[in-house]
Chain A
Amino acid sequence: MKKNRIVALAATATVTALLVAGCSSGGGSSSPSSATGKVTLKFWSWAPGTDKLVAEWNKSHPDIQVKHTDAGGGDASSAKLLTASRAGNAPDLSAVEYTTLPSLIVAGVPVDLTKDVTAATKKNYAKGTLQQVTFDGHIYGLPQDVGPMALIYRSDILKKYDIAVPTTWDEFGAAAAKVKAADPSATLASLPPDQTGFFAGVATQAGAEWWSIKNGKWTVGIADKASLDVADFFQGLADKGYISTEPILTPAWNAEVNTDKVLSWPSALWAPGVISGVAPATVGKWTMAPLPQWKKGDSAVAYQGGSAVIVTKDSKHTKEAAEFAQWLNASKTGASNLLTISNVYPAAISGQQDATKTAPPALMPKQTDYYSTAAKISSNTIPVTWGPDYNVANTAFGDTLSKAIQDHTSWSQAFKDVQKTVVADMKKSGFKVTN
């Protein structure tokens, strides 16, 4: 009897411990090359329509066949990729977000592609775009799409309330107040604490540098002067009830967008596709404008989101993989396909030029200047360096700012706490940090 009990207890203990041990399941195995010289490459990507782009490549390249898998977007696939890479069976190629690329480089996942990237490829990228995948002068990936920040808004309702499109954040705050006055159940926008990318973007726009490198040392600036001013500004709007801090892209938020209760979404150029999906009732009633500025007359914006394609160290065919990645993202055909089939804003210049001749997205069919506005926005972006522990910052930011909102404490103190967490994590990992 007693023995049985001990065994039972041991069993319950094991089940809990197994949770962690169970995470070493592998992904795709490395590609075998047959005697005929035919090469098969495995490719993870979440961009819609990637299977069609891959099929086109496979038709014209019988010797380099690509097998596409949708391993889930953003956060999910970066964790899977790390695990697969550690187990030695990562796919040959994978899409990654710019924000997680540094942490993947540190973990040794991507290979250095500097020698494989052709001059033609380099010419098809703006300097700032290529900088997002370049570290210490080495190129680690091919930019696929970029997300220069922009504002999409319900032109019909703002017009009804006689509210001008905000060009500065002060105007944005005034517009939010007017919306509340006109319809207390509506809000101009929801800016929830888990949108780290948004807050990082507008802080960058204000002159902040959340991560920077000088003389081989890192400096963390999540709590620099510009960032704290941004925190105070948005806390002011939230405290007055002008903007909401409820989570976005949830059933509740989607319902509110659909029923005309959320009137704008400050985010990036990928927003129209998202809204078409979650709020179909509002299609055709939106317009895109440049993101509001901190200083009137400024025009530079930061990036929010966007992804690149890397070649992993587990690939036995780096050269072929690099060739495919360049065709997919930087060739004229590839970039054009990304625009028309995947419906993303291509990172390559040729794709962005093609865009100006394309009809506007379905969400704003009447806005004929959509893509020329988009081209103007993306011609003046602020280059950003993401730290090697962006994931730590991301979770800490969401949790800490949520708590501040919940407890009605200072947002700028929350930014300072995140800064502390990030600096401590980088020091623990062994990075040289000046903070």
Chain B
Amino acid sequence: MTATLTPRTPTTARSRPSRRRRGRSAPYFFLLPALVLFVLFMVVPIIYAAWLSLQTYRIEGGGILGTRVRVFTGLSNYVSALTDPDLLSGFGHLGLYAVIAVPVTLGLALLFALLLDVPAARGTRFSRTAIFIPYAVPGVVAALLWGFLYLPGTSPFSDITNALGLGSIPFLKEPGIFGSMANISIWGGVGFNMIIIFTSLRGIPADIYEAARLDGADERQIALSIKIPLVVPALVLTAIFSLIGALQLYGEPTTLKPMTSIISQTWVPLMTIYKDAFLTDDLPSAAALSVILALGTVVLSAIVLGITNRRTSGARS
């Protein structure tokens, strides 16, 4: 994509001395460590999770309590997961959060990267570090920190509005909670995404800008018509990262849960998985929901890639 614009020095095709063929098994030998790890820690657990998702616990034997045994049940865990209204509202919460978090994160990351790339910008190294630092703060710490800034009893923002007689800001009520939740991940995620986009901007050869300036383009025009189209691959990458990150929302709501009754145990799908696995002791249901979520992530990522691919190839032709 960018390669078409990069001036290339013609490579001189060096004729290599033809080597004697090594044994055919050599590539497999080198692949082996990766393959063994992949099979042990990826393939086997996935198969186990899929197999587990087809089981259920039933009570057998006499007495009042009986004994719990695992039996095969087919797809019933999938049926009950997909018809569970709590899961549906969980996806609803996730959607609202993602709609705020993903575009704002990417928008701010792009904006900051472009601003830092302007030749006249000063103190760029400091600004870049300052914007990046929140990414180094562990997610749970960030959620706790923001939680205290949101809680009516401890929030300095609410102190100000209270002093003005406006009452405390409903950070942890609906619908404010979605913005509050998104804000935590935006705060943490902008720096990382900015670095990716900024690095990509730095890779653009300076002669393109020179040509644009000679044609009378100002910095704004250069940014909109040259820089942004050229960093589209980096934007696609960060979009996919952010989207997958949004689907895996778990740490922030779990950390904020004790602070507000708004967040239920099934507020987002991953919390439902945790509840099934560790609170109500229903591992098969947790496995089924995990498979659904994993497939959903694949489909969504594929759709995003498909759309952006068509766009970029359309732009090229």
A interface residues (Cβ-Cβ under 8 A, vs B):
5, 9-14, 16-23, 75, 79, 82, 102-103, 105-108, 135-136, 192-194, 213, 216, 218, 245-247, 249-252, 255-256, 388-389, 391-392, 394-395, 398-399, 402-403, 405-406, 428-431
Known A20-B287, A22-B45; judge A398-B64 contact (CB<8 A). no
B interface residues (Cβ-Cβ under 8 A, vs A):
41-42, 45-46, 48-50, 52, 56-60, 63-68, 86, 148, 151-154, 174, 244, 247-248, 258-262, 264-266, 270, 273, 275, 277-281, 283, 286-287, 290-291, 293-295, 297-298, 301-302, 305
Does B59 lie within 8 Å of A5, measured CB to CB? no
Q: When chains A and B are docked, how far (Å) is the Cα of A431 from the Cα of B61?
A: 10
A105 contacts across to B, CB distance below 8 A? 65
Does A12 lie within 8 Å of B301, measured CB to CB? yes
Q: When chains A and B are docked, how far (Å) is the Cα of A27 from the Cα of B48?
A: 21
18 A-B contacts (beta carbon < 8 Å): A10-B298, A11-B42, A14-B294, A16-B290, A18-B49, A20-B273, A20-B287, A23-B277, A106-B59, A106-B68, A136-B64, A247-B259, A250-B151, A391-B280, A392-B280, A406-B174, A406-B261, A429-B58
Does B152 lie within 8 Å of A252, measured CB to CB? yes
Does A403 lie within 8 Å of B297, measured CB to CB? no
Does B64 lie within 8 Å of A255, measured CB to CB? no
Task: Report A115 CB to chain B, min CB distance, Å.
Answer: 17
Known A13-B294, A431-B59; judge A395-B280 contact (CB<8 A). yes
The residue that B270 contacts in the complex, of A19, A82, A398, with Cβ under 8 A, is A19
The residue that B248 contacts in the complex, of A16, A193, A194, A391, with Cβ under 8 A, is A16
B302 contacts across to A, CB distance below 8 A? 9
The residue that A9 contacts in the complex, of B153, B266, B280, B301, with Cβ under 8 A, is B301
Does A252 lie within 8 Å of B259, measured CB to CB? yes
Among A108, A216, A430, the one with the most B-chain Cβ atoms within 10 Å of its Cβ is A430
Task: Report B262 CB to chain A, min CB distance, Å.
Answer: 6
Q: Given A11-B42, A251-B259, output 10 extra A-B contacts at Cβ < 8 Å.
A: A9-B298, A13-B294, A14-B42, A16-B290, A20-B277, A23-B278, A79-B279, A107-B281, A135-B64, A246-B261
The residue that A398 contacts in the complex, of B48, B65, B264, with Cβ under 8 A, is B264
Q: When chains A and B are docked, how far (Å) is the Cα of A134 from the Cα of B64?
A: 12
The residue that B65 contacts in the complex, of A10, A136, A391, with Cβ under 8 A, is A136
Q: Across the two chains, which residue of chain B brings its CB closest to A214?
A: B64
Does B281 lie within 8 Å of A391, measured CB to CB? yes
B42 contacts across to A, CB distance below 8 A? 11, 14, 18
Q: When chains A and B are docked, how far (Å) is the Cα of A19 from the Cα of B279?
A: 15
Does A398 lie within 8 Å of B265, measured CB to CB? yes
Does B261 lie within 8 Å of A16, measured CB to CB? no
Q: Across the two chains, which residue of chain B brings its CB closest to A429?
A: B59
Does B264 lie within 8 Å of A399, measured CB to CB? yes
Q: When chains A and B are docked, how far (Å) is the Cα of A256 from the Cα of B259?
A: 14
Q: When chains A and B are docked, how far (Å) is the Cα of A402 from the Cα of B264?
A: 8
Q: When chains A and B are docked, how far (Å) is the Cα of A207 from the Cα of B236?
A: 62
5 closest Cβ contacts across the A-B interface?
A21-B45, A252-B153, A430-B59, A16-B294, A399-B264
Does A399 lie within 8 Å of B281, measured CB to CB? no
A192 contacts across to B, CB distance below 8 A? 261
The residue that B148 contacts in the complex, of A102, A108, A247, A251, with Cβ under 8 A, is A251
B260 contacts across to A, CB distance below 8 A? 247
Task: Report B220 CB to chain A, min CB distance, Å.
Answer: 34
Does A12 lie within 8 Å of B244, measured CB to CB? yes
- Looking at chain B's contact residues, is the secondary structure mostly helix, strand, loop, or mixed? helix
Does B58 lie within 8 Å of A13, measured CB to CB? no
A19 contacts across to B, CB distance below 8 A? 270, 273, 290
B275 contacts across to A, CB distance below 8 A? 395
Q: Across the two chains, which residue of chain A brings its CB closest to B262?
A: A406
Known A9-B298, A14-B294, A247-B258; judge A20-B67 contact (CB<8 A). no
A249 contacts across to B, CB distance below 8 A? 258
Does A251 lie within 8 Å of B151, measured CB to CB? yes
Does A106 lie within 8 Å of B67, measured CB to CB? yes
Q: Across the two chains, which residue of chain B brings its CB closest to A104?
A: B281
Among A13, A218, A246, A251, the one with the most B-chain Cβ atoms within 10 Å of its Cβ is A13
Does B259 lie within 8 Å of A17, measured CB to CB? no
Does B64 lie within 8 Å of A216, measured CB to CB? yes
Task: Report B308 CB to chain A, min CB distance, Å.
Answer: 12
B65 contacts across to A, CB distance below 8 A? 102, 105-106, 135-136, 388
Known A23-B277, A252-B152, A256-B153; judge A405-B52 contact (CB<8 A). no
Q: Across the two chains, which residue of chain A brings its CB closest to B63?
A: A136
Known A20-B49, A399-B265, A403-B264; judge A250-B281 contact (CB<8 A). no
The residue that B154 contacts in the complex, of A251, A391, A394, with Cβ under 8 A, is A251
A193 contacts across to B, CB distance below 8 A? 261
Q: When chains A and B are docked, how far (Å) is the Cα of A168 from the Cα of B270?
A: 43
Q: Across the two chains, which residue of chain B brings its CB closest to A22?
A: B45
Q: When chains A and B are docked, how far (Å) is the Cα of A251 from the Cα of B64?
A: 42
Does A16 lie within 8 Å of B280, measured CB to CB? no
Q: When chains A and B are docked, how far (Å) is the Cα of A5 from the Cα of B302?
A: 9
Does A79 lie within 8 Å of B278, measured CB to CB? yes
B261 contacts across to A, CB distance below 8 A? 192-194, 245-247, 402, 405-406
Among A18, A20, A75, A213, the one with the most B-chain Cβ atoms within 10 Å of its Cβ is A20
A399 contacts across to B, CB distance below 8 A? 86, 264-266
A194 contacts across to B, CB distance below 8 A? 261
The residue that B45 contacts in the complex, of A18, A102, A398, A428, with Cβ under 8 A, is A18
Q: When chains A and B are docked, how far (Å) is the Cα of A107 from the Cα of B66?
A: 9
Q: Across the two chains, which residue of chain B brings its CB closest to A5?
A: B305
Q: When chains A and B are docked, how far (Å) is the Cα of A255 from the Cα of B151?
A: 11
Q: When chains A and B are docked, how far (Å) is the Cα of A428 from the Cα of B56?
A: 9
Does B154 lie within 8 Å of A252, measured CB to CB? yes
Q: When chains A and B are docked, how far (Å) is the Cα of A398 from the Cα of B86?
A: 14
Q: When chains A and B are docked, how far (Å) is the Cα of A78 from the Cα of B57?
A: 18
Q: When chains A and B are docked, how far (Å) is the Cα of A223 from the Cα of B242?
A: 44
Task: Report B272 CB to chain A, min CB distance, Å.
Answer: 10
Q: When chains A and B are docked, how far (Å) is the Cα of A19 from the Cα of B251?
A: 13
Q: When chains A and B are docked, how far (Å) is the Cα of A13 from the Cα of B65?
A: 38
Q: When chains A and B are docked, how far (Å) is the Cα of A378 from the Cα of B164?
A: 51
B50 contacts across to A, CB distance below 8 A? 17
Q: Across the two chains, which residue of chain A brings its CB closest to B250?
A: A19
B294 contacts across to A, CB distance below 8 A? 12-14, 16-17
B60 contacts across to A, CB distance below 8 A? 430
Q: When chains A and B are docked, how far (Å) is the Cα of A65 from the Cα of B154?
A: 48
Does A21 lie within 8 Å of B49, measured CB to CB? yes
Does B262 lie within 8 Å of A402, measured CB to CB? yes
Among A5, A21, A79, A398, the one with the most B-chain Cβ atoms within 10 Å of its Cβ is A21
